[in-house]
Structure 1
Amino acid sequence: MGHPTVFSHLSETEAGELENDLTALRVESDELNQSAALVWLRKDRIKGDAQLHGIVLKAPDRVDEIARNSFLSLFPDILRHRAVRHLLPESFDASKPLDAGANHPPRGWRPVPAIGLAAEWARAMYDGSFGTDPRESAAAVRDRRAVAALAQANDLFHSLFGERYSSLFCLSSPDPWCPWFRGLFNTTWVVYAGHSRTLWMLTLTDMD
């Protein structure tokens, strides 16, 4: 079977299957990257950026079962897998993370309920960045901003997943897990859509 280099948390059989048999295909997401939500996030982060990447996992049949049981630890391993790594930008090399020790210790990944995912995106849109502080606006302006953020975040969610929630496994982290994060304030949302076997990453970085 060989000696798997990733998926060390899985059984030897599962690790071997994923290490040897996992292949991947990049999702062409130009239209999604120009969605109103992504344009909003980038516009607010003048010194940072927002990116969306999708990867279809051509994997053993048991990948969905493994995702259900172990997605919290499975995702970081998938990022390091050779089949996935070469599909992402060079600066997304998860084997070379930034040293976050000067700011705060790594906080890791936390599960996100699928039903709350779009709301978290909307909150990031509403809060803006260092150049945007909704609290300085009039109440009516804040209300319009909130309504627009919720609508556009939901539009992006439905473009990606339709009305499916039960087949989504979602995580979030503030950690700078790769060299792309040059800012001090970072967020990553990752979603594995079991119905399409697609892994989606929405990443934000920002600095003052």
Structure 2
Amino acid sequence: VQAVRIALRGGDRDLAEDLAAQAAEHATRNPSVPTARGTAAHAAGLVNADHGLMERSVRILLTCPRPLPLAAASADLGRALLTAGDPAATPALNKAHDIYAQAGADAEADRVRTDLERATSRSGRRTGGLRPRHGQGWDALTASERKVARLIAAGHTNRSAAAALVVSPHTVNTHLASIFRKLSVRSRVHLARIVLAEDGAGTGTGD
């Protein structure tokens, strides 16, 4: 898939199509391997700019034991939907970001977060400046982000939170940046108030 992306960026469509054909042939020879079938659909979706094929890739790769191919397919689906102005881009990008962050693929998570910011910005312009409900607020946090938020609110440092979750400190940093963006907070004290409100009263905070 990465080779297909490089070929398309370089304007070599013939090479991209040949690579996609090789992926399809590999999948035909390995029909019981979801990674092979999902990768073939992903490559074909990129070459043909076909959202349906990319969605099929994501569905197949959900059954794959390897998380990174699913993250890559979700990210490319989200980017394609974002280009088309489809609001379904945000959940696809959120899924990719969460998988990358959990896997410690911090550079990829950062790239997807940039796409998410673009998606949020576009949605805001379409709604007259209002932020999309699914992209902001406590409900927009992933399960991993909520765990990090609760640990930080309880007084953990990034390093001790990472140790508690058995992830890298960089992964916690990535989650925390996303948490601050989604909750529109600038300090740990403000974050702690929101977590206490959510866990104690079961309601969101308007601040």
Is TM > 0.5 for Structure 1 vs Structure 2?
no
> Of Structure 1 and Structure 2, which has the larger fraction of its residues in helix?
2
> Of Structure 1 and Structure 2, which has the larger fraction of its residues in strand?
1
Q: What TM-score, normalized to structure 1? A: 0.25
Which structure has more RCO (C-alpha within 8 Å, separation ≥ 6)?
A: 1
